[in-house]
Amino acid sequence: MSNHNIFDDTEPPPAYEEAVAGSSSNNQGPPPPTPTRPTNHNNSKTDNAPNSPTTPGGPASPSSTSPHTPAQTFQQIIPPSQTVNRQFPPAFNLYRDPFSSRPTFSIGEHQTTPLYAVTAWAGWSTRQNLVLHNGPTEDHPPLATVAYEQGARRMDVHLPPLPGQPPAPIPVLVPSAMRSKFVFSVEVPWGGADGPAAHRKESFEWRRSNSPAIASLGGRSHGWKLVRLSNELPSGGLTVSGSGPPAGDGHEVVAMCAHAVMSVSKLWKFAFTGTGASGALGERWAVMAVATALVIWDQEIKSN
């Protein structure tokens, strides 16, 4: 890997219009069940009323109901005529507000300019849930929700469905005695430049890593790398300038994350690499990568 600092990149990957443009009435099925949040003042939640549409990254719409209901379609997040106009930067950090009376998290390139809020909480003794909000505060509707149980072999990630498809959780296999990886499959853009928009499922693995590539994040030298199990270049005329660092089996590393060091408020670092940073895998994949990485961070924090 070169000595280029991945945090110096300024061009974010392109937005995933394929996941939001042309939303139709086909996505009107009932959302997957969501566990009830503990009924205390700091972590109140309701599962009865969907959120009013909001613009990503914009102010939350006023509502008399709790703003934390997970949205299962993009119709519940933004009007069908709009597209996601804010993407993840190539590299960012997870921050905690050191002055808050309760854990308050956000991700962004700098603590003073948060992009998305993160809520992590336990629904009950064994059930864990994590929400990646579609804006810088917890008042913004979810962009992704993750539900999992301690000791379970899988967890479920809920993303807004692709156009014309019903909402369905994306299963993630978690590490076990026989497997030391987080494994998931998600749709990525796949189609000719002149043909209709299409997708295909690809598989990815979060693997533990102790390497100079992880150290290049500016935190610890040991962390996690997201490995793309396909070596095919995504079609559609997308050009990938450079590739991510290879894993031990030769597959490309498309994202990395690690705990931060020597900081009270900066907790964790994340970066897209190679094909992941190019945007060729789409923003649906990017949201999935970030959501699963946040769960890895959450599990490691709670296990220590």
Cα(256)–Cα(83) distance, integer angstroms = 27
Chain centroid to Cα 15, Å, comes to 14
For 64, residues 6+ apart whose C-beta sits below 8 A from its C-beta are none
Q: Beta-carbon neighbour count of residue 63 at 10 Å?
A: 13
pLDDT reported for residue 151: 67
Query: DSSP string spanning 112-126?
Result: TS--EEEEEEESSSS
Regarding the domain delimited by 52-58+65-303, which CATH topology (the fold level of the hierarchy) does it fall under?
Tubby Protein; Chain A (3.20.90)
Distance CA(104)–CA(118), nearest Å, equals 8
Amino acid at 272: F
pLDDT value for 7: 35
Angle 118-61-127 (CA atoms, 0-180°, nearest 5)? 35
Q: Tell me what percent of the chain is helix, strand and coil, each rounded to the nearest 5.
A: 15, 30, 60
What does pTM read for this prediction?
0.70
CB 81 within 8 A of CB 258: no
| Tokens linked to 185 | 């499959």
pLDDT at 278: 86
152-197 pLDDT, tens per residue? 778 999 999 988 889 999 999 988 766 789 999 999 988 755 666 7
Q: What is the pLDDT of residue 244?
A: 62
Which residue ranges make up each domain of the chain? 52-58+65-303
Q: Interior CA angle at 181 toward 178 and 185, to 5°?
A: 115
Say how far apart CA 50 and CA 53 lie, in whole Å: 9
Could you state, in chain order, the average pLDDT of each consecutive group of 10 residues for the chain (304 residues)?
A: 38 36 38 40 36 35 36 33 59 88 87 93 68 93 87 86 91 82 93 71 94 84 92 58 64 93 89 90 94 92 77
Question: What is the C-alpha to C-alpha distance for residues 219 and 212, in angstroms, rounded to an integer?
Answer: 11
